[in-house]
Amino acid sequence: MNSINVNGTDFSVKDEELELSLLDYLRERRFLTGTKNGCEKGLCGSCTVVIGGKALRACKTPVKKAVGTSVVTIEGMEGPGGELHPLQKAFMDAGAIQCGFCTPGMVMSAYALLLQNPEPSREEIRKALRGNLCRCTGYQQIIDAVELAAKIVREQAIPVEAGCER
């Protein structure tokens, strides 16, 4: 039996679902619509999820490749009591959200970055987010938000891992 772990819960994957993109699977079979469909061509980053600590485009990842892995989506970022992840809070505090369509993908790319590098420079943040397009903010506030979240996680010794109590 094929299975996939999404935000800490195991789901069995039906044979007919193996050919779907992970984006369609998450949105249409798991009803996790926080992962956005901006282009379905791997160009905009709005569908970014994290697998094995790495940011991946769900629209270009077939479910069959994700079988046996653990996927984290934006819905999995909050803590058990619904408390927001420091990245989510920082995006709000830094004014990095306007229409919000790009935000889940931005947060997930930033999450993968912070897992690997807890003290990224602005240049490293820019590089990690270069595949994520935003039509609204002009990017500066988004970079500010990631810098702020990294600082808060370091200074307050908050766990960066998704789904942790904070």
Which residues are at the interface with ligand FES (CB under 6 A)? 37-40, 42-47, 57, 59, 97-102, 134-137
Tokens of 89: 């809070």
Question: Which is nearer to ligand FES, 77 or 134 (by Cβ)?
Answer: 134
* Both tokens assigned to 7: 């935000």
CB of 137 to ligand FES, least distance (A): 5
Residue 139 and residue 127 in contact, taking contact as beta carbons nearer than 8 Å: no
Residue whose entry in the numeric block shows the structure tokens 């989510």: 88
Cβ 163 to ligand FES shortest distance, Å: 23
Least separation in angstroms between CB 104 and ligand FES: 10
Distance CA 117, CA 98 (A): 27
SS3 category, 19: coil
Closest approach of Cβ 135 to ligand FES, in Å?
A: 4
- CA dist list (Å): 44 to 91, 94, 156: 19, 22, 33
State which residue, 23 or 162, has the beta carbon closest to ligand FES: 23
Tokens representing 88? 């989510």
Closer by beta carbon to ligand FES, 40 or else 163: 40
Shortest Cβ distance from residue 106 to ligand FES (Å)?
7
Residues forming beta bridges with residue 11, ordered by sequence position: 4
* Nearer of residues 40 and 93 to ligand FES, judged by Cβ: 40
Q: CA separation (Å) from 142 to 27, 44, 59?
A: 25, 15, 23
Of 102 and 143, which has the nearer Cβ to ligand FES?
102
